[in-house]
């Protein structure tokens, strides 16, 4: 008998995942099939060999019965979900969570001597799914959101099996459902969405109110570093605490306002844009990044970044130094020549891997776990420790984006007040630099900045006169030209 951990394996690759099988020779097909045995034939989805070579699902969870035999229904369900996720480049770790949910449900039914597809009980509380739902309610380690996710996986599993006709049971006995319409508010008004409401769910609280002094962005609360906090950050960046690579990451975020997913997927060929034709009169290079040239951006939108000349020169020097070239050698030793020339990541870990895997990375669908920038936590932890007392202990890498926006806001206010910039154009300018799709998002940032304690702003302005010429140059270049 297998233990829980032994009942789930991950298959690295399943080729020809849309094949069908037959015991008779396919009639009318001259190509696109092969004999598996003397009386079994595999028909491929594509007759084109190059297309069929790409018809592969990677990192597929595979479940076993207690006696070690395959759990057929669950594995077909997971394969179907895997093929769908491959089409949209969805994370394969979600599939593993689905597989563990199904396995735990299966183990529960085995422990309770409940037959998985027996829904003959007249009272719902005696049916498999309802009994499991009750057991989830009795746990104190599950949030409502996680509980609902688990019951949805189980409901989707039964729905798949029912539609395929593999088992005979009444779907309406699995759960009570009702189709409802929701009106969801968006930036452009309300949209109607039809959803299936299930009885085996619990209410989940709406989003918690944003903490005063913070703005919520991508599910994370952030605020800018101001006053002495900002000065402390600059001091750490000038010191020996961070490696050169780490300092470049922080500088890039602080001086461009870009998100980590874009910064950590910059490639060597992006540095080629640091040439005279892309250099403005403000000593800022115009850098174009998008998924089309290898950099991940939110919603895959193209971004135009303004990179200070001194930072661009630091990045170029870093790309040619021995420390970086040794990391490239480690990457090639581990992964071969999958990234040619300028496609190599600019930022690599000590082990010679990327910090964040771009969607056009050849390994994206193949690896079991993709790097998603977790190493930035090490950077922020080191900054917090080195900055000392008074520096926010909950500081995260994403705060650098808010800090960039706050610095820009501070520089635009006098221009608006003096009439050099039309009121409202400041919002447009900041929206453009932050690459916000909707003006309301930028206004949310500005609402935050308008509540910043004026005493901190005054302190910041006073202390800026104490900066070295280098720091003063940096702070002036935080926003660059106001004509871009």
What's the rounded mean pLDDT across residues 426-443? 90
In 3D space, the residue among 40, 44, 35, 50 whose CA is nearest the CA of residue 16 turns out to be 44
| pLDDT category of residue 482 using cuts at 50, 70 and 90 | very low
CA–CA gap between residue 154 and residue 137 (Å, rounded): 15
Output the pTM of the full model. 0.81
Task: Give 342-389 pLDDT, tens digit per residue.
Answer: 999 999 999 999 999 999 999 998 888 899 999 999 999 999 999 988
Cα atoms in the 13 Å half-sphere on the side-chain side of 478 = 23
Task: Give 38-60 pLDDT, tens digit per residue.
Answer: 788 888 888 777 777 778 888 99
CA–CA gap between residue 42 and residue 21 (Å, rounded): 5
In 3D space, the residue among 172, 167, 158, 173 whose CA is nearest the CA of residue 120 turns out to be 173
Residue with tokens 């040439």: 275
Residues facing residue 37 across a β-bridge: 40
- The answer to whether the beta carbons of residues 294 and 271 sit under 8 Å apart is no
Residue with tokens 């929206």: 431
Residue with tokens 């447009």: 428
Residue 469 scores a pLDDT above 50: no
Looking at residue 115, the DSSP 8-state letter turns out to be: -
3-class DSSP string for 337-348 = CCCCHHHCECCE
Residue 461 scores a pLDDT above 80: no
- Which CA distances in Å does 343 have to 92, 272, 374? 24, 12, 22
For residue 197, give every residue at least 6 positions away whose Cβ sits within 8 Å of its Cβ, in sequence order, or none: 177, 178, 179, 180
Q: What is the structure's pLDDT at 446?
A: 79
Q: What is the structure's pLDDT at 21?
A: 80
Q: Which two tokens stand for residue 166?
A: 């593999």
End-to-end CA distance of the chain: 67
- The answer to whether the beta carbons of residues 60 and 83 sit under 8 Å apart is no
- Ranking 54-68, 196-210, 350-364 by mean pLDDT, the lowest is 196-210
Relative to beta strand 189-198, strand 284-289 is unpaired
Q: What is the structure's pLDDT at 1?
A: 86
- The answer to whether the beta carbons of residues 202 and 137 sit under 8 Å apart is yes
What's the rounded mean pLDDT across residues 201-227? 82
Burial of 288 (0-12, 13-18, 19+ CB in 10 A): middle
Mean pLDDT taken over the chain = 87
Residue 468 scores a pLDDT above 60: no
Looking at residue 205, the DSSP 8-state letter turns out to be: P
Sheet strands (E) in 255-342? 284-289, 303-308
What's the rounded mean pLDDT across residues 430-458? 76
Residue 453 scores a pLDDT above 60: no
Largest CA distance in the chain: 87
């Amino acid at each position: 008998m297998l233990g829980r951990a032994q009942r789930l394996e991950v298959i690295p690759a399943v080729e020809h995942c849309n094949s069908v099988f037959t015991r008779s020779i396919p009639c009318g097909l001259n190509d696109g099939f092969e004999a598996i045995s003397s009386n079994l034939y595999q028909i491929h989805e594509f007759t084109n060999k190059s297309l069929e070579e790409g018809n592969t699902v990677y990192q597929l969870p595979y479940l076993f019965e207690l006696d070690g035999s395959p759990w057929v229904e669950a594995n077909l369900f997971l394969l179907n979900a895997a093929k769908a996720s491959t089409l949209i480049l969805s994370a394969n770790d979600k599939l593993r969570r689905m597989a563990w949910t199904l396995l735990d449900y299966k183990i529960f039914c085995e422990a309770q001597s409940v037959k998985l597809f027996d829904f003959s009980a007249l009272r719902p509380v005696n049916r498999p799914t309802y009994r499991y739902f009750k057991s989830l309610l009795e746990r104190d380690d599950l949030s409502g959101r996680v509980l609902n996710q688990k019951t949805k996986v189980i409901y989707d599993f039964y729905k798949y099996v029912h539609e395929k006709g593999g088992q005979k049971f009444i779907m309406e006995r699995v759960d009570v459902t009702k189709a409802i319409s929701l009106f969801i508010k968006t930036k452009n008004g309300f949209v109607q969405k039809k959803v299936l409401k299930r009885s085996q769910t619990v209410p989940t609280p709406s989003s918690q109110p944003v903490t005063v002094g913070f703005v919520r962005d991508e599910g994370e609360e952030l605020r800018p570093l101001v006053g002495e906090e900002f000065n402390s950050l600059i001091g750490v960046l000038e010191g020996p605490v961070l490696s050169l690579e780490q300092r470049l990451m922080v500088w890039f975020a602080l001086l461009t306002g870009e998100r980590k997913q874009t910064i950590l997927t910059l490639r060597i060929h992006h540095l080629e844009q640091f040439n005279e034709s892309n250099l403005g009169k403000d000593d800022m290079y115009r850098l174009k990044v998008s998924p089309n040239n290898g950099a991940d951006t939110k919603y895959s939108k193209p971004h135009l970044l303004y990179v200070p000349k001194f930072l661009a020169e630091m990045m170029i020097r870093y790309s040619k130094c021995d420390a970086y070239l040794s990391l490239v050698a480690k990457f090639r030793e581990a992964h071969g020549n999958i990234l040619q020339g300028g496609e190599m990541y600019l930022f690599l870990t000590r082990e010679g891997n990327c910090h964040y895997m771009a969607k056009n990375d050849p390994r994206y669908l193949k690896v079991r776990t993709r790097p998603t920038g977790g190493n930035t936590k090490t950077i922020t932890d080191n900054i917090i420790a080195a900055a000392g007392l008074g520096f926010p202990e909950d500081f995260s890498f994403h705060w650098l984006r808010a800090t960039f926006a706050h610095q820009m806001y501070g520089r635009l206010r006098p221009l608006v007040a003096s009439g050099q910039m039309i009121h409202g154009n400041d919002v447009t300018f900041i929206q453009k630099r932050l690459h916000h799709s909707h003006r309301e998002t930028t206004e949310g940032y500005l609402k935050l900045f308008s509540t910043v304690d004026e005493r901190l702003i005054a302190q910041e302005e006073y202390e800026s006169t104490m900066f070295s010429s280098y720091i003063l140059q940096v702070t002036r270049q935080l926003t660059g030209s106001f004509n871009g």
